[in-house]
């Protein structure tokens, strides 16, 4: 199994999002998505960042067509939702990703702003 640091390095090189796991019974788990996969594309949109993923996921409410990189090759998968997805709240998704430590708590530009002294 690939280590976490190597997985993140590979995802960066491939310009994708590393998969750290799936929840049992979810469409991703049923499709065989697993730790070590790199998410390359969702619904025809390249997913270089979590924001790309959120935008691409919102294009459909019945599922996702994805491309993952696994063991040296790209694989296409269709994920079908059990029921149509509820309208997405990007702020709630980002908060969940931060909680799961998948997204950074400080984004580019914010670090410099928070370090400036008030006028």
Chain segment 33-60, per-residue pLDDT in tens: 999 999 999 999 999 998 899 899 989 9
Domain annotation covers residue 116? no
Average pLDDT over residues 99-117: 55
Domain annotation covers residue 117? no
Average pLDDT over residues 19-28: 87
Domain annotation covers residue 114? no
Domain annotation covers residue 56? yes
Among candidate residues 37, 45, 3, 43, the one with its CA nearest the CA of residue 17: 37
CATH number at 94 reads 2.30.42.10
Q: Rounded distance, CA 104 to CA 96, Å? A: 11
State the residue range of the domain holding 91.
4-104
Chain segment 46-97, per-residue pLDDT in tens: 999 988 998 999 899 888 999 999 999 999 999 988 876 666 777 777 777 7
Burial class (CB in 10 A: 0-12, 13-18, 19+), 20: middle
- Whether the predicted pLDDT of 16 surpasses 90: yes
Domain annotation covers residue 111? no
Domain annotation covers residue 98? yes
- Give me the number of domains the chain comprises: 1
Domain annotation covers residue 42? yes
């Amino acid at each position: 199994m690939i280590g976490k640091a190597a997985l993140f390095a590979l995802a960066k090189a491939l310009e994708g999002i590393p998969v750290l796991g799936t929840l049992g019974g979810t469409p991703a788990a049923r499709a065989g998505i697993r730790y070590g996969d790199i998410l390359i594309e969702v619904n025809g949109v390249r997913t270089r960042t979590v924001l790309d993923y959120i935008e691409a996921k919102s294009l459909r409410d019945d599922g996702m067509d994805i491309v993952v990189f696994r063991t040296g090759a790209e694989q296409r998968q269709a994920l079908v939702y059990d029921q149509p997805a509820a309208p997405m709240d990007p702020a709630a998704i980002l908060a969940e990703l931060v909680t799961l430590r998948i997204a950074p708590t400080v984004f580019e530009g914010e670090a410099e702003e928070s370090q400036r002294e008030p006028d």
